[in-house]
């Protein structure tokens, strides 16, 4: 047996060879959770390459190989006993890079193919450098060889390839562009593997067990603590009692590790990674030949800094009112990426370099930087790098607050100007970007800017974000919108464009029965609100496009005053960022789906004509042919961007899994709306706006309407008695299975969750669907594939696919596979049919059984 450290490039390139995954191995099973972690590691290595750093590579894991029985002298074949998930994933990532650059750099695309993916002169299955199990082989071969003619149901291979295609488009973001060839280099020459090569007769399974039999590792903080006190042979006990024990008592181990990392950053090391904390600090001590006095000084400084760090974690410990308010908002925003800058400000204040007033002013620049970028939809992926660099890059020749203002205003920081902020408040779908608590904080700050003499107690108020013009408009709303439409636009298009913009959003704690009713019925309720912004809405005679845009302009004036602008004279690339977002979401379109010019325009905050012009004039946009008219037809003005890519568009759409009706239109069931598009590029799953129940809901007190009562009252308002009784029976069946019904805390939109476990316990709570009353259009059941994908055992795409197949057995239900990562709706009225009720009951029993088996599989 031989074991050596190697790189992916050294392992797979060179002479013709093949790595064969044995048939008894499990199929490809990496989920998006593992893919996201790997992508983060790849980007980190690409950044280190850009800086010219050669020392820090990333250890990916082991690969155990054994000679294949089919091995021969001229063509080496290896069995992959362990490591097939890593090899398959890296191969798919390189296939995605090849396809990403194919149009712009065909020679490099061919080079990637021949170096890492194929054996050029071999035929048949030998053509592939990696040969997965039989179950994964057709999909893997199609992605390596192309073109993909059919996407297998539940294909993890296809999902991984699509993930990398999407991330490569995202990496081209002008706010933080990453060179694709550095990404390739990171994959092939910066991810290290331990390759264990067995001889014939070696017990490769025993080797596999030894490599994977690892215990709990010490944290970076544990390692550094042990090192520090080994360096204190004479003074350790006193220092431990005086400084370390109080330090350890005031912070958790994870918080202490973060403080140690921040200490390195504050000392000007803007390149240190948290996982390299121990090695970096040890190197500094060894290089400086640290004495016991030096070690003691370092621990004393940690002890001093801990009091400042606690103010970031617990803003109530900050004595100054203004600074405390800024720290509290940063806490609500979950802005841990800003900690290097915030710690620097608190440290400089404590050392006398600035007072509390200047500290608050500097923090206002940080808050504005975050808020303006969020409103203007600047991706947050570069924030960590920006703020980690602050201590080392802060100008020394100007006051601290002014220096921070100058630093954040630099060209490559993308701090939006007043003009861009105003434009995005008018046009951009604010509700679809950022996290729920961030959106709510923006609205709260805007409300506070009115300086009402009797301000709302936001800590006690149960406020949620409400769409004044509802997300599901009735006929009255559409008739009013039709008065404002421009030429060639429908009321539905205008609604899609404006519904999520800031001008149409407010904070309320009103009763939910008015959620979708005409504006006249909302006015009285809003007039009685304690919020000034709601009283202003209620004073308006109607609520159409003109009124929404007028309110957007009013809020923009307040936003400009609240959040300071960057320094002038900074060049920007706003429009290119908008189109980058379009490219990103089109690259993420699942197999078997399409969208319209209007849907894409509503998602971007743009116009349908502008979208069409851009796609027609921009070569290399992935899936541009899958943008159709609202009727599901190819636009008359559509042209392939290059001659090489020509061909019949409908045939290409069919290859992509898009179905066509008898009338020749793309199947409307497969269409992705603007809301669906927003879900495709969202990075987290906390978009339920506080509706997921954290625990079993308590019953109401005597005379008080419970959430369950309110849900059924709303359901009965516009669904038949048969549907209402079918839902009651569904809930009874679910409780008989051991589940429980949780109801969302939303005061406007009520909901019901079919829960298993406890929602508040990470990794334990799960729910297959959420039920909503219709608000005028009939109740729906939202199948939450998106959330299931992060919860065992439904991280397995094949299980989610089976759930989709079972649901589609219900008469009147047709969920396309392309929505397997979204949250498609099913009408509750289908439960009026007895055979549908029976099939759904069986499907929920199957779901429960799979969840209960998760720990024994």
Residues 519 and 579: their CA atoms lie apart, in Å, by: 35
The pLDDT-based confidence of 572 (bands split at 50, 70, 90) is very low
Whether residue 205 sits in one domain with residue 63: yes
Whether residue 262 sits in one domain with residue 188: no
What pLDDT is stored for residue 135 in this prediction?
83
* C-alpha distance from residue 700 to each of 705, 707, 728 (Å): 6, 8, 19
50-73 mean pLDDT: 82
Query: Which of 467, 518, 504 lies closest to 749 in space, CA to CA?
Result: 467
Count the domains in the chain. Answer: 5
Q: What is the pTM of this model?
A: 0.79
Query: Of 522, 539, 562, at which residue does a domain stop?
Result: 562
Residues 680 and 820: their CA atoms lie apart, in Å, by: 11
Residue pair 627/610 in contact by the 8 Å Cβ criterion: no
Whether residue 179 sits in one domain with residue 50: yes
415-426 mean pLDDT: 94
Candidate ranges 196-210, 676-690, 784-798; pick with highest mean pLDDT? 784-798
Residue 200 has pLDDT above 80, yes or no: no
Q: Which two tokens stand for residue 372?
A: 């303006």
Whether residue 341 sits in one domain with residue 208: no
- The shares of helix, strand and coil residues in the chain, as percent rounded to the nearest 5, are 55, 10, 35
Pairing status of strand 76-82 against strand 17-20: parallel
Residues 722 and 109: their CA atoms lie apart, in Å, by: 59
Does residue 218 belong to any structural domain of this protein?
Answer: no
Does residue 158 belong to any structural domain of this protein?
Answer: yes
Whether residue 611 sits in one domain with residue 556: no
The pLDDT-based confidence of 204 (bands split at 50, 70, 90) is low
Residue 334 has pLDDT above 70, yes or no: yes
What pLDDT is stored for residue 693 in this prediction?
56
Whether residue 450 sits in one domain with residue 339: no
* C-alpha distance from residue 133 to each of 23, 25, 130, 141 (Å): 5, 7, 10, 11
667: domain CATH number is 1.10.10.10
DSSP string of 135-161?
TTHHHHHHHHH-----PPTT-HHHHHH
The pLDDT-based confidence of 149 (bands split at 50, 70, 90) is low
Does residue 75 belong to any structural domain of this protein?
Answer: yes
| Least confident interval from 192-196, 211-215, 351-355, 486-490 | 211-215
The larger pLDDT score, comparing residue 703 to residue 327, is at 327
Q: Which two tokens stand for residue 144?
A: 């390596």
Does residue 701 belong to any structural domain of this protein?
Answer: no
What pLDDT is stored for residue 697 in this prediction?
56
How many DSSP H helices and E strands does the chain contain?
37, 15
What are the contacts of 198-205 at 24+ separation with CB within 8 A? 198/1, 198/64, 198/65, 198/66, 198/67, 198/81, 199/1, 199/67, 200/66, 200/67, 202/1, 202/66, 204/64, 204/66, 204/81, 205/81
Query: Of 514, 531, 562, at which residue does a domain stop?
Result: 562
Whether residue 725 sits in one domain with residue 677: no
Task: Report pLDDT digits (tens) over 703-758.
Answer: 556 888 888 988 898 889 999 999 999 999 999 999 999 987 655 567 899 999 87
Whether residue 265 sits in one domain with residue 163: no
Does residue 653 belong to any structural domain of this protein?
Answer: yes
Residue pair 165/94 in contact by the 8 Å Cβ criterion: no
What pLDDT is stored for residue 606 in this prediction?
81
Neighbours of 202 (CB within 10 A): 17
365-379 mean pLDDT: 95
403-420 mean pLDDT: 91
What pLDDT is stored for residue 638 in this prediction?
84
The pLDDT-based confidence of 687 (bands split at 50, 70, 90) is very low
Domain membership of residue 296 as a residue range: 227-419
The pLDDT-based confidence of 439 (bands split at 50, 70, 90) is very high
Does residue 568 belong to any structural domain of this protein?
Answer: no
Whether residue 449 sits in one domain with residue 349: no
Residue pair 263/343 in contact by the 8 Å Cβ criterion: no
Does residue 428 belong to any structural domain of this protein?
Answer: no
Query: Of 419, 448, 481, at which residue does a domain stop?
Result: 419
What pLDDT is stored for residue 857 in this prediction?
46
The larger pLDDT score, comparing residue 464 to residue 834, is at 834
Residue 358 has pLDDT above 90, yes or no: yes
544-560 mean pLDDT: 96
588-596 mean pLDDT: 91
Task: Report pLDDT digits (tens) over 275-313.
Answer: 888 888 888 888 878 899 999 999 999 999 999 999 999
Residue percentage of the chain with pLDDT more than 90: 50
The pLDDT-based confidence of 795 (bands split at 50, 70, 90) is confident
The larger pLDDT score, comparing residue 95 to residue 177, is at 95
Q: Which two tokens stand for residue 550?
A: 């007028």
What pLDDT is stored for residue 690 in this prediction?
44
92-103 mean pLDDT: 93
The larger pLDDT score, comparing residue 100 to residue 687, is at 100
The larger pLDDT score, comparing residue 823 to residue 693, is at 823
Whether residue 184 sits in one domain with residue 53: yes
Whether residue 586 sits in one domain with residue 556: no
Q: Which two tokens stand for residue 463?
A: 């406020």
What pLDDT is stored for residue 689 in this prediction?
42
Residue pair 352/395 in contact by the 8 Å Cβ criterion: no
253-271 mean pLDDT: 90
Specify which residues 771 forms β-bridges with. 752, 781
Output Rg (C-alpha) for the chain, integer angstroms. 29
What pLDDT is stored for residue 216 in this prediction?
47
Residues 92 and 65: their CA atoms lie apart, in Å, by: 20
Whether residue 464 sits in one domain with residue 405: no
Helix (H, G, I), strand (E, B) or coil at 509: coil
Candidate ranges 269-278, 448-457, 705-714, 838-847; pick with highest mean pLDDT? 838-847
Average pLDDT of the residues of the chain: 86
Does residue 38 belong to any structural domain of this protein?
Answer: yes
Q: Is 170 exposed, middle or buried (0-12, 13-18, 19+ CB in 10 A)?
A: buried
Which residue do the tokens 């010019």 mark? 597
Specify which residues 191 forms β-bridges with. 58
């Amino acid at each position: 047996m031989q074991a050596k450290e190697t790189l992916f490039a050294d392992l797979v390139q060179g002479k013709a060879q093949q790595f064969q995954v044995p048939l008894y191995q499990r199929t490809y099973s990496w989920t998006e959770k593992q893919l996201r972690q790997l992508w983060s590691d790849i980007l980190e290595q690409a950044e280190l390459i850009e800086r010219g750093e050669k020392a820090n590579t990333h250890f990916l894991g082991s690969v155990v190989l054994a000679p294949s029985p089919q091995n021969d002298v001229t063509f080496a074949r290896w069995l992959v006993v362990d490591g097939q998930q890593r090899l398959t994933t890296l191969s798919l990532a390189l296939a995605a890079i090849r396809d990403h650059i194919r149009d712009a750099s065909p020679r490099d695309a061919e080079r990637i193919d021949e170096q890492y993916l194929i054996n050029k002169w071999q035929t048949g299955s030998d053509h592939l450098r990696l040969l997965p199990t039989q179950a994964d082989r057709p999909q893997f071969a199609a992605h390596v060889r192309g073109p993909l003619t059919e996407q297998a149901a539940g294909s993890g291979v296809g999902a991984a390839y699509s993930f990398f295609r999407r991330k490569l488009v995202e990496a081209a973001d002008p706010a933080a562009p990453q060179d694709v060839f550095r990404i390739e280099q990171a994959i092939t020459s910066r991810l290290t593997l331990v390759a264990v090569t067995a001889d014939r007769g070696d017990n490769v399974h025993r080797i596999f067990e030894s490599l994977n039999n690892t215990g709990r590792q010490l944290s970076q903080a544990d390692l550094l603590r042990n090192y520090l006190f080994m360096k204190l042979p004479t003074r350790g006990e006193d220092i431990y009692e005086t400084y370390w024990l109080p330090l350890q008592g005031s912070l958790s181990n994870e918080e202490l590790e973060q403080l140690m990392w921040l200490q390195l950053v504050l000392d000007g090391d803007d390149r240190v990674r948290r996982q390299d904390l121990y090695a970096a600090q040890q190197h500094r001590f060894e290089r400086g030949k640290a004495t016991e006095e030096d070690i003691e000084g370092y621990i004393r400084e940690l002890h001093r800094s801990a009091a400042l760090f606690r103010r970031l974690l617990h803003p109530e410990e900050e004595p100054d009112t203004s600074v405390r308010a800024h720290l509290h908002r940063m806490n609500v925003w979950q802005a841990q990426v800003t900690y290097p800058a915030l710690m620097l400000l608190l440290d400089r204040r404590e050392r006398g370099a600035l007072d509390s007033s200047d500290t608050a002013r500097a923090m206002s620049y940080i808050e504005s930087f975050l808020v303006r970028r969020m409103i203007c939809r600047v991706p947050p992926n570069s924030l960590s790098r920006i703020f980690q660099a602050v201590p080392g890059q802060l100008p020394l020749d100007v006051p601290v607050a002014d220096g921070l203002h100058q630093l954040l205003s630099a060209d490559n920081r993308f701090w939006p100007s007043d003009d861009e902020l105003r434009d995005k408040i008018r046009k951009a779908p604010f509700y679809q970007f950022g996290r729920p608590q961030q959106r709510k904080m923006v609205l709260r700050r805007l409300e506070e800017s009115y300086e009402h003499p009797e301000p709302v107690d936001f800590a006690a108020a149960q406020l949620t974000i409400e769409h004044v013009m509802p997300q599901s408009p009735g006929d009255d709303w559409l008739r009013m919108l039709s008065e404002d439409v421009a030429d060639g636009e429908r009321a539905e298009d205008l609604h899609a464009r404006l519904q999520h913009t800031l001008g149409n959003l407010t904070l309320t704690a009103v009763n939910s029965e008015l959620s979708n009713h005409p504006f006249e019925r909302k006015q009285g309720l809003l007039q009685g609100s304690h919020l000034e912004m709601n009283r202003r809405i209620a004073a308006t005679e109607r609520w159409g496009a003109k009124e929404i845009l007028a309110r957007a302009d009013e809020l923009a004036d307040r936003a400009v005053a609240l959040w300071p602008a960057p320094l002038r004279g900074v060049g920007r690339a706003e429009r290119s960022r908008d189109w980058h977002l379009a490219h990103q979401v089109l690259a993420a379109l699942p197999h078997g789906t399409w969208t319209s010019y209007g849907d894409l325009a509503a998602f971007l905050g743009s116009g349908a004509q502008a979208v069409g012009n851009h796609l027609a004039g921009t070569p290399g946009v992935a899936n541009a042919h899958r943008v159709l008219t609202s009727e599901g037809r190819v636009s008359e003005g559509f042209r392939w961007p290059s001659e090489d890519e020509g061909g019949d568009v409908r045939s290409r759409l069919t290859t992509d899994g898009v179905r066509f009706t008898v009338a020749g239109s793309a199947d409307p069931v497969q269409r992705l709306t603007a809301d669906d598009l927003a879900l495709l590029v969202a990075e987290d799953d906390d978009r339920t706006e506080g509706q997921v129940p954290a625990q079993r809901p308590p019953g109401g007190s005597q005379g008080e309407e419970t959430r369950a009562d309110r849900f059924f009252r709303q359901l009965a308002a516009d669904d038949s008695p048969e549907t209402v009784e079918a839902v009651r029976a569904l809930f009874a069946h679910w409780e008989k299975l051991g589940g429980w019904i949780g109801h969302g805390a939303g005061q406007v939109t009520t909901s019901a969750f079919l829960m298993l476990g406890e929602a508040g316990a990470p990794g334990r709570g799960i729910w297959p669907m959420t039920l909503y009353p219709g608000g005028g259009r009939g109740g729906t059941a939202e199948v939450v594939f998106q959330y299931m994908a992060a919860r065992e055992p439904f991280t397995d795409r094949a299980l989610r696919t089976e759930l989709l197949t079972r649901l589609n057995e219900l008469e009147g239900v047709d969920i396309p596979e392309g929505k397997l990562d979204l949250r498609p709706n099913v009408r509750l009225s289908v439960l009026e049919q007895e055979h549908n009720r029976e099939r759904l009951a069986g499907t929920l029993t199957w779901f429960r059984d799979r969840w209960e088996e998760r720990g024994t599989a």
